[in-house]
Structure 1
Amino acid sequence: MQADFFAKKRRNSLGFLLILGAITFGAIVITEYNLVKGFESLPRAVTWALGNFYPTQESLSRLPGILNSLLETLLVSIAATTVGASFALFFAVMGSNTTRVNAFFGSISRGIATVFRNIDVAAWAMILLFSFGQSSLTGYFALFFGSFGFLTRAFVETIDEASGGSVEALRATGASYFSIIFQSVIPSSVPQMISWVLFMIETNIRSATLIGLLTGSGIGFTFNLYYKSLNYDIASLVVITIIVAILFIESISNYVRRVIL
């Protein structure tokens, strides 16, 4: 019986790999992508980057302006994430199977979160460009909508996993709805929710670079400006500052996670 089970799993895995391979081959044929030329171009790309894409002494004079743009991107990312988390917490409480008021409001909350989650932040930025134009506000709302959708889903799962038993116990004692929320659900879920918020901040900082290309703001716009003007030395300095900032934020996030989890 067990041998049949593992044989079936192997057949399913093999079937999946064959389907994936067929899809990949079909995509290569349809797009007329040449694998040989693609791999042959890698050494030339590396050689060009080593010969042109590096900061110089003159590019360091632009560092203060680059840091100001980076700071703007960091602040917008953090603000969009934290405000989005506040709204996500409310919708998660309404949408969770453990804490929802009724099935109707639960379905509405989950549906709204699903819509916002399944639209990429770049798509949100392009949609919002028609209303707000190229500005930091456009980038903020794009990151806010994306954060809200993702965190609502993450918070719903956190509430369902972390507080199911304690909620049932409090209901059995006759505790009110708000007592259950503030004395059980939120305290038991906060550490994992903070972890999700930190993860979202890291993600938004990376996404904000791309959003800046569309909205004409932040570090993304700064990189695009220097790259298109062929100032590759300054553009490389922008990339280095982005990498350092992301690694710094990630190290802080990992430290906080170790402390609270």
Structure 2
Amino acid sequence: MQADFFAKKRLSTAGFILVLGVVTFLAIIITEYNIVKGFASLPRAVEWALGNFYPTADSLAKLPDILDKLIETLLVSVAATTVGAIFALFFAIMGSNTTKVNRFFGSICRGVATVFRNIDVAAWAMILLFSFGQSSLTGYFALFFGSFGFLTRAFVEAIDEVSSGSVEALRATGASYFPIIFQSVIPSSLPQMISWILFMIEMNIRNATLIGLLTGSGIGFTFNLYYKNLSYDIASLVVIVIVVAILFIEAISNYVRRVIL
């Protein structure tokens, strides 16, 4: 019996790998992608980057302006994430199987979160461009909508995973809905929620760079401006600043996770 199970599992795995290989092969044919040419161009790309894409002494004069744009990007990312988390917490409580008021509102909340989660932040930015134009507000709302959808799903899973036992215990003692939420659900799932918020902040800082290319704001627009002007030394400095900022934020995030989890 167990041998048949493992045989079927190996067969399923082999079938999946075969289908994936066929799809990959068809994609290469349809897109006319030349694998050999692609890999052969890597040495030339590296050579060009080493010869052109590096900061110089003159580019360091632009560092204060770059840092101003970086701070703007960081603040927008943090603001969009934290406000999105507040709305996500409400929708998660309403949509969780453990804490939902009724099945109808639970389905509505999960459905709204699913729609927002499955639309990429870049798509949100392009949609919002028609309403707000190229501005920081467009980037803020794009990051907010993406954060709201993702965090709602994450919070729902955290509540269902951590709080179900304590909620049942409080219900058995006759506790009402709001004491259950504030005395059991939020305290027990708060560490995981904070971890997800920190992860979302990291993601939004990365996404904000791309969003800035579309919305004409933040550090992404700064990179695009210098790159299109062929100021590769300044553009490379922007990239270095972005990488250092992301690594710094990730280090802080990992430290906070170790403390709270």
Scaled to the shorter chain, the TM-score interval is over 0.9
- Alpha-carbon separation, structure 2, partners of 1:28 and 1:194: 42
Q: Percent identity?
A: 84
1:10 and 1:46 map into 2 onto residues whose CA distance is 41
Superposition TM-score, scaled by structure 1 size: 1.00
The residue number in structure 1 matching 2:61 is: 61
What is the 5 A alignment of 1:1-261?
1-261=1-261
**CA apart distance, 1:136:** 0.2
Q: Supply the distance in 2 between the matched residues of 1:36 and 1:150 (Cα, whole angstroms).
A: 38
Question: Equivalents in 2 of 1:160, 1:68: separation in Å?
Answer: 41
- Which amino acid in structure 1 is aligned with residue 206 of structure 2? R
RMSD between aligned alpha carbons? 0.3
- The runs of 5 or more residues in structure 1 that have no matched partner are none
Distance of 1:136 and 1:8 partners within structure 2: 53
Q: TM-score, normalised by structure 2?
A: 1.00
**Cα drift, residue 4 of structure 1:** 1.1
C-alpha distance after superposition, 1:48-88 (max 9, x if no partner)? 00000000000000000000000000000000000000000
Distance 1:230 1:220 in 2: 16
Deviation beyond 3 Å, 4+ runs, structure 1? none
Amino acid in the other structure paired with 1:81: T
**AA aligned opposite 2:181:** I
2:81 counterpart letter in structure 1? T
SS at 1:98 equivalent: coil
Aligned-residue offset at 1:2: 1.1
1:224 Cα deviation after fit: 0.1
Letter in 1 for 2:118: N
Letter in 2 for 1:56: T
Give me the whole-angstrom Cα distance separating, in 1, the residues matched to 2:5 and 2:135.
57
Equivalenced residue count is 261
SS at match of 2:41: helix
Letter in 2 for 1:142: A
Aligned-partner Cα distance in 1 for 2:210–2:118: 18
